[in-house]
Structure 1
Amino acid sequence: MPDDIRARRRAGTGLGVLLALALGAVLLTALPDDGEREGGAACGPRTVGSWSAERALTDEFARYGDDPSRADDWTGGDGTHSVRLPDGRLLWLFSDTYLGQVHPPPNPFGESSTWREGAAPLVRNSAVVMRDGRLESTLPAPLFPDPAPGQWRWPVAAHVEPRSPGAPERVLRVLLWVRAAGPSPWIYGVPVATEVATLSLPDLRVESVVRVADQQGVPDPSRRVLYGTTLVEEDGWTYVFGGDDRRAASRPVSRAYLARVPRGRLGEPDAWRYWDGSGWG
């Protein structure tokens, strides 16, 4: 059976298990202390301390993904990120996402499992709202439309911050990776740029998308850097971590990168500063 058809018939349950494993992992991430930031000893690597399956979360995604009552909601996705909203809701962000319906067993492939039709809609990104541990709704998908033919946006880290420094109003800012279709080895797309989307709160309406780090001028795609693998706020700065795609081009290792932005200015390209190993450029 072709791999694409096999993948399409899977229900949300499988994703939920993977999601639980990823969320159960205890990842230790830290910024260097003041001395290290100014060129002192490099911070040591961090490793996974432990992990365990989050059964309640797995079951909730299985319930929501396998619900056959709607034809326009999430039934499975990858590239999972989440962000807590000021009103207590949790917003789940996904990259490639299946919509449509999931059907109960038996399925036409002869297995006793739920199944998804081969013509199920696939979008490049989606967002699902959770309240008090229960998934409520899928926002209109794709939430972030393709920037150009042959290109798409994958959401990564997200952060609630003031609309501008010191402003009382808060907004949600979502880091986006822009990729473009390309030949092997770029099976996940050629890196193009990092963007920042601003969403209003509490209605989660996309107000704008701004390109903050365009990489199209870097000739070697494996050296193009995308930001947003994760982020952390400290001392009035938002630190944004990123990386390149050297391993996609069979290089030994990919490299990590770091940028920082004053709190409230993630959507301003001129406010971004990049660590070059000895200072912020």
Structure 2
Amino acid sequence: MQQPPAPFGSAFNGYAATTPDGWTGGDSTYSVRMPDGRTLWLFSGTFLGPLNANSTRPTGAKLINNTFVIQDGDELTTVHVGTASAPKAIMPPPDDSHWFWSGDGFIVGARLQVIYQRYRKAGTGPMQFAFDGNVVAAFSLSNLKTPASVEKLPSDSGVAWGSAILPASRSGDGYTYVHGVSDAQTDKAMRVARVHYEQSSAGSLLISYNVNSLDNRVVDSADLYRDTSIYRPRFYRVSIR
């Protein structure tokens, strides 16, 4: 049975059809409710307009690695750096061989916190990239074009964090839960970490993740655990500014 379109689908389709230089398509889609009631959409790879008259995308359409789109009712505004003719990603790459794709985000006070995964060029196959680390970027809500700070997150385990965030305001137990995915070609496994606000401060967040599911395997090369019900936390403190 055909499902009706999502309520926001018509707004995005209409915007893509008419914008001269804004969002016409993107992946890694996340959304955050802003304090003033607007919705902030977070995207990874983003195509920018315009589209052709028949709604197809020109072969030379501009593509950047990450953007925001602000939704105010049915009105959409694309946020990126650079100019319309030379757009750049909000989260700039450290060099020509690396880039950032977006994870989920959440708002703390007047700051937007977004987890980004850093990737690098690698290999010669159809998927010529490899995971290279996690960072958390903080943006002032008054300036979404430039991160106010960027801090490293745990990455040695090969987990790409930020696939979903459940904030403390909705978790029911006072913790913020950060989900991630193991960096594997096939049979990827989900991971979860949590933020300990009771042991955090104005300048840092205390985060733990379950080392039982990372370090205590029956077989090193397999995703088999001795006791997955035991939460054996490894703690990591992340500075925030």
Equivalent in the alignment of 2:183? 245
Displacement after TM superposition at 1:194 (Å): 1.0
**What secondary structure does 2:164 align onto?**
strand
Equivalent of 1:129 in 70, 87, 96: 70
Equivalent of 1:159 in 85, 101, 106: 106
| Contact persistence 2:196–2:205 (CA under 8 A) | no
Equivalent in the alignment of 1:256? 190
Equivalent of 1:280 in 230, 233, 238: 233
Residues in 1 aligned to 2:59 and 2:202: alpha-carbon distance in whole angstroms: 38
Give deviations 1:236-274, integer Å, cap 9, x for gaps: 32111111132x1x4xx2222111123496997872211
- The letter for the 2-side match of 1:150 is S
Query: TM-score, normalized by length of structure 1?
Result: 0.65
Equivalent in the alignment of 1:220? none
* Larger RCO, structures 1/2 (Cα 8 Å, 6+ apart): 1
Equivalent in the alignment of 2:78? 138
Give deviations 1:89-133, integer Å, cap 9, x for gaps: 10111111111311212xxxxxxxx1222111110111100012x
Q: Against the structure 1 CA distance between its residues 149 and 269, is the aligned structure 2 distance closer, same or farther, given a 3 Å change threshold? A: farther
Residues in 2 aligned to 1:155 and 1:88: alpha-carbon distance in whole angstroms: 22
Residues in 1 aligned to 2:12 and 2:142: alpha-carbon distance in whole angstroms: 23
1:194-233 counterparts in 2 under 5 A?
194-205=134-145, 206-215=147-156, 224-232=158-166, 233=168
- The letter for the 2-side match of 1:207 is A
Residues in 2 aligned to 1:207 and 1:84: alpha-carbon distance in whole angstroms: 20
- For the aligned residues, what is the CA RMSD? 2.6
Q: Unaligned stretches of 5+ in structure 2? A: 82-88, 213-229, 235-241
| Contact persistence 2:197–2:206 (CA under 8 A) | no
Residues in 1 aligned to 2:56 and 2:112: alpha-carbon distance in whole angstroms: 35
**What secondary structure does 1:145 align onto?**
coil
Residues in 1 aligned to 2:201 and 2:98: alpha-carbon distance in whole angstroms: 23
Residues in 2 aligned to 1:145 and 1:263: alpha-carbon distance in whole angstroms: 29
Q: Once the two structures are aligned, what percentage of the paired residues are identical?
A: 27
Equivalent of 2:118 in 178, 183, 191: 178
- The letter for the 2-side match of 1:192 is D
Which has the higher mean CA deviation after the structures are superposed, 204-213 or 172-181?
204-213
Residues in 2 aligned to 1:269 and 1:175: alpha-carbon distance in whole angstroms: 15
Structure with higher strand content: 2
- The letter for the 2-side match of 1:214 is S
**What secondary structure does 1:210 align onto?**
strand
1:1-281 counterparts in 2 under 5 A?
52-68=3-19, 70-71=20-21, 73-105=22-54, 114-132=55-73, 134-141=74-81, 142-162=89-109, 170-183=110-123, 187=127, 189-205=129-145, 206-215=147-156, 224-232=158-166, 233=168, 234=171, 235-246=173-184, 248=185, 250=186, 253-263=187-197, 271-277=206-212, 278=230, 279-281=232-234
Give deviations 1:29-66, integer Å, cap 9, x for gaps: xxxxxxxxxxxxxxxxxxxxxx9543432111110111
**What secondary structure does 2:7 align onto?**
helix
Equivalent in the alignment of 1:167? none
**What secondary structure does 1:115 align onto?**
coil
Q: Unaligned stretches of 5+ in structure 1? A: 1-50, 106-113, 163-169, 216-222
Give deviations 1:144-175, integer Å, cap 9, x for gaps: 1112221111111111124xxxxxxx311001
Equivalent in the alignment of 1:10? none
